[in-house]
A and B are shown apart, each in its own frame.
Chain A
Amino acid sequence: MAVVSATITGKHRTSSSVRRRRPGVPVVLDQGGAKCFVRLEGEVNITLAVELKTVLLQALASGKELLVDLERATEVDVTALQLITALDRAARRSGIRVALAGRVPAEILTDVVDGGFGEFPISTEPGVKGG
């Protein structure tokens, strides 16, 4: 299964290995399977905003069901929340389903609720418990 990862320099790398998390790459796009995964790791803040937008647009262009994985994220700031909100809207318009792939760390969820978002901009994939 091919893993395409967008690094912060925007370069695309191809690996022939099976799905594998590349340590230290904060934004990873994995669209090799039936679903398209966007994995975010560490501090997802303004320093990654431009790259995250690029990756989300690529994910959307794949036309596949989108899953956003935040399990390994330690921080999600307003830039990321805006992008995820915009992704959700765009996906709905195109009839694409978008959901969270796993649990959202409790600290992030607290920030999101206190930040006036009520809950995370996209809902959790059925069968996965949030927080």
Chain B
Amino acid sequence: MIDQYKQAFQEEAREVLVELESALLALNENRGDKELVGRAFRALHTIKGSGAMFGFDELAAFTHNLENAFDEVRNGRLETTAELINLSLTALDQIKALLEESGGQAASATSAEILTRLRELTGKAETHPVKAPPAAIAVPVAAPQGAANDWRIRFVPGPDLLRGGTNPLLLFRELKQLGKLRNIATTATIPTLEEMDPQLCYISWDMVLTTPAAREAIADVFIFVADSCELTIEPATENASSVAPASSVVPTSEAAAPAPQKGKYPSYGRRAYDSPDTASSIRVPAAKLDQLVNLVGELVTVQARLGVVANRGDDPDMVTISEEVERLTSALRENSMSIRMLPIRATFERFRRLVHDLARDLRKEVELSIEGADTELDKTVIDQLSDPLMHLIRNSMDHGIESPQERLAAGKRPCATLHLSARHSGASVLISVADDGAGINAKAVRERAVEKGMIAPDAQLTEPEIFSLILAPGFSTAKQVTDVSGRGVGMDVVRRSVEALRGTIDIASKPSSGTSVTLRLPLTLAIIDGLLVRIGSAYFVLPLATTLECIELTREDVEKTNGKHVAYVRGEIIPYIRLREYFQLRTERPEREQIMVAETEQGRYGFVVDQVLGDHQTVIKNLGRFYRHIQIVSGATILGNGSVALILDPHRLVQEAIRTISADPRADLRAQNPHGRRVAV
């Protein structure tokens, strides 16, 4: 088989393994749930069957034994014990290794060891699927026994079934293992040799299978192709021979072939499997998507230049074309960005296993709850999120969550809760890891920070400031370094990863109630909708998603507030930051300025600029590592006239302004903003 199909199988198998892992972990919590046992069994069956089909013989043979065990469970002959689940999870890791074909001899030894343990558990001898080269499907789990029934099976593959590497003949081989199979292929639908696309499937099949097996077992044979075919399995009530819809004469020519019955069988065109949710997705390598977004980024920049040139001249046609190009570029940008958006579900679900394994190792009882798994964010962000989330979970489980005994003594449920959640908030996404453990001991953190010389012994720090100390490299209050955490590396990794994503970390904790760490991350790292503003001859971009409105600020307004940096907007006090002063731009202040009101983490704030130029598709360019520490700027963009505009981070700007004024003892310009937070005015 060529590599392309192998790769497609590997990709699909990885997804099936995620499904299997989730089923096993759920089964651990709901032992004996037949639906979950069925899910696990079907996943194993799919991996085995398709593995054999694509030449992964060792993987198929190994999985076959695990599948047997789950068949025993399915039939009530074996109980779902913790031992079985744990062994199955270990076996799942082994299947992963075999899938990547990276194990070599060591992998074979591990397989043998796992199978020995499995044998001990099930009390059954190891079995091997029948190898029928070149691309065999393993034999089914066990020869069904009992009274045989006739089943009428209609199998209409989607036209692309063969392109996916499936060979229906192998499915029939597997069906034959269940009982006596009589099969008729409808070949009348095959077009002429000249017209046919040789890689499409034009044939459908009608079968009668005489077997004691249940409908479920028959359907299991088609699991791998379920999404790309029409399948009907129903008990044959009449004599099997009369059930076959086509004539029993084998159609070897057009004359002999039964004519397709109008209305009964749909013609090749749109069928059930062509519905958008099944047949409309394709796999694209991530690198191609990155390339697409880069190209769109370049296009956006060129389009901005075109806009400037068009507006400079007085050719109305040119202006019209430029506007049309802008509209199309904008649509293309939104489209290509949406392609990169993925739900965070897979990342979250992966942690179920981590929580399960850590709970077992640390002898703690932890329940993982997940919320907002459908929240979508950029693939690049998701890719880089795995590490920090893993460290946060490890930290929480090792340091935050107490042992069942300690929890009982503290009047809590012995089983702790770890809550993973994701939700959108403007142009950001908030990812939170919260536990109901012991909480962070602020006093201990402070003492340790003083001990390490990170803060002065008499430093006045707020609680959030103390909590943020745990993000420093090498900081740990753990008395013992365990395998899980305590070296003070994890939280530093979290900080670095989140900063690399231009995100922020917020830690909240209450003694004995638990800790919650919230990561605020940008939805995307490539192109954003921005608002272009000007101060003197300098240009800046503010993210449009955080911007609420734009109001005018006259000298008269400033006088009314006695020079204090606040504006009254419909009865509400909005503190503002003068960007001219903040960036020390030595240009003349115009008579009328404009305030951009933005929603920040600290409440509503205004940013005073000379002029708001309008919305701007902003391609984010990194400022390079020399400027990485400047947090109030999240990047730069190239404008249509070739000049560079800095992209401001309103949250950080406000934070920084508050911090600067708090740190300056002479600063007395403090007020309480309407949202109850301390603000600098």
Question: Is A7 an interface residue when CB atoms closer than 8 A count as contact?
Answer: no
Query: CA–CA, A118 to B165, complex, Å?
Result: 24
**Quick one: which of B162, B190, B254 contacts A77, CB cutoff 8 A?**
B162
Q: For A75, what are the chain B residues with a Cβ–Cβ distance below 8 Å?
A: 134-135
Are B168 and A50 within 8 A (Cβ)?
no
Which residues of the partner chain A approach B132 to less than 8 Å between Cβ atoms? Answer: 107
Q: A56-B193, A75-B134 are in contact. Are A111 and B169 (CB under 8 A)?
A: yes
The contact sample of 6 A-B pairs, CB cut-off 8 A, is: A43-B135, A56-B193, A79-B201, A85-B187, A107-B132, A117-B187
Asked if B25 is at the interface of the complex by the 8 Å CB criterion, the answer is no
Is A82 touching B190 in the complex (CB atoms < 8 A)? yes
Cβ contacts under 8 Å, B176 to chain A: 114
Stretch at the interface among A17-25, A29-37, A86-94: A86-94
Chain B: which residue is nearest A57 at the CB level? Answer: B193
Q: Does B237 contact A (CB under 8 A)?
A: no
> Looking across the interface, which residue of chain A has its beta carbon closest to that of B252?
A121
Task: Check B470 for interface membership: any CB of A closer than 8 A.
Answer: no
Given contacts A83-B196, A88-B252, A89-B254, contact A114 B183 (CB under 8 A): yes
Size category of the binding interface on chain A? 35 or more
Q: Smallest CB–CB gap between B395 and chain A, Å?
A: 50
Chain B interface, number of residues (Cβ within 8 angstroms): 39
Residues of B within 8 A of A50 (CB): 198-199
Whether B252 contacts A86 by the Cβ 8 Å rule is no
Q: Is the beta-carbon distance between A46 and B199 smaller than 8 angstroms?
A: yes
| A 62-84 binary contact with B (CB < 8 Å = 1; else 0) | 00000000000011011101110
> What sequence of 0s and 1s flags, for each residue 100-118 of chain A, a beta carbon within 8 Å of any chain B beta carbon?
0000000100011011111
- Interface 0/1 of B190-226, CB less than 8 Å to A: 1111101011011101110000000000000000000
Q: Is the CB of B190 within 8 A of A86?
A: yes
- Hey, what's the 0/1 contact readout for B347-370 against A, CB within 8 Å counting as 1? 000000000000000000000000
In the assembled complex, how far is the CB of residue A6 from the closest CB belonging to chain B, in whole angstroms?
14
Contact with A along B145-184 (1 / 0, CB 8 A): 0000000000000000011010111001100100001011
Nearest-CB residue, chain B, relative to A114: B172
Contacts A52-B198, A117-B185 aside, 9 further interface pairs with beta carbons under 8 A come to: A50-B199, A82-B190, A85-B187, A86-B192, A89-B190, A112-B169, A114-B176, A116-B184, A117-B250
Chain B residue nearest to A42 in the complex (CB): B134
- Chain A CB count within 10 A is highest, among B163, B173, B198, B253, for B198
B4 → A minimal CB distance (Å): 9
Contact A115 B169 (CB under 8 A): yes
CB of B2 within 8 A of chain A?
A: yes
**In the complex with contacts A45-B167, A78-B169, A57-B198 CB distance below 8 A:** no
Contacts of B202 in A (CB 8 A): 82
Which residues of A sit under 8 angstroms from B187, Cβ to Cβ?
82, 85, 117, 121
- The answer to whether B250 and A119 have CB atoms under 8 Å apart is yes
A40 within 8 A of B: no
Q: Are B191 and A86 in contact (CB under 8 A)?
A: yes
Q: How many angstroms between the C-alpha atoms of A88 and B193 in the bound complex?
A: 9
Of A60, A85, A116, the contact of B205 (CB 8 Å cutoff): A116
Task: Indicate if A99 sits at the interface (CB-CB under 8 A).
Answer: no
Contact B167 A77 (CB under 8 A): yes
Indicate which residue in B184, B193, B199 contacts A79 across the interface (CB closer than 8 Å): B199
Q: Can you name the residue of chain B whose Cβ is closest to the Cβ of A75?
A: B134
**In the complex, chain A residues whose CB is within 8 Å of the CB of B252:** 85, 88, 118-119, 121-122
Shortest Cβ gap from A84 to chain B (Å): 10
A53 beta carbon closer than 8 Å to chain B: yes
A16 interface residue per 8 A CB criterion: no
Choose from A78, A85, A89, A121 the contact partner of B168 (Cβ within 8 Å). Answer: A78
Minimal beta-carbon separation of A131 from chain B (angstroms):
16
Taken together as a complex, chains A and B put the C-alpha atoms of A47 and B5 apart, in Å, by 10
Contact B183 A116 (CB under 8 A): yes
In the complex, what residues of B have CB within 8 A of residue A87's CB?
193
A86 and B196: CB pair below 8 A? yes
Contacting pair B173 A111 (CB below 8 A): yes
Contact across chains for A114 and B173 when beta carbons are under 8 A apart? yes
Measured in the bound complex, the distance between the Cα atoms of B193 and A53 in whole Å is: 7
B198 neighbours in A (Cβ, 8 Å): 49-50, 52-53, 79, 82-83
B167 touches A47 (CB 8 A): no
Q: Are A78 and B203 in contact (CB under 8 A)?
A: yes
A 2-27 to B, binary, CB cutoff 8 A, 1 in contact else 0: 00000000000000000000000000
Q: How far is the CA of A77 from the CA of B176 in the complex (A)?
A: 17
Please report the C-alpha to C-alpha distance between residue A106 and residue B163 in the assembled complex, in whole angstroms. Answer: 26
- Which residues of chain B are within 8 angstroms of A107 by Cβ–Cβ distance? 132
Q: Which residue of A lies closest to B176 (CB)?
A: A114
Please give me the residue from chain A that is nearest to B182 by CB atom. A116
Taking a contact as CB atoms closer than 8 A, the residue among B165, B173, B253 that contacts A92 in the complex is B253
- Chain B neighbourhood of A85, CB < 8 A: 187, 190, 252
Chain B residues near A52: list those with CB within 8 A. Answer: 198
Taking CB atoms, residues of chain A closer than 8 Å to B135 are: 43, 75
Q: Is the CB of B199 within 8 A of A118?
A: no
- Collect the chain A residues with CB atoms within 8 Å of residue B191's CB: 86
Query: Which chain B residues border A119 with CB–CB below 8 Å?
Result: 250, 252
Distance of A92 Cα from B256 Cα, bound (Å): 13
Q: Are A90 and B196 in contact (CB under 8 A)?
A: no
Closest to A122 in B: B252
**Closest Cβ of chain A: how far from B460's Cβ, in Å?**
73
Q: Which residues of B contact A86 (CB under 8 A)?
A: 190-193, 196
Contact of A115 among B163, B185, B206 (CB under 8 A): B185
Tell whether, in the assembled complex, residue A78 and residue B2 are in contact, meaning their CB atoms are under 8 Å apart.
no
Give every chain B residue within 8 A of A118 (Cβ-Cβ): 184, 249-250, 252
Residues in A whose Cβ lies below 8 Å from that of B173:
111, 114
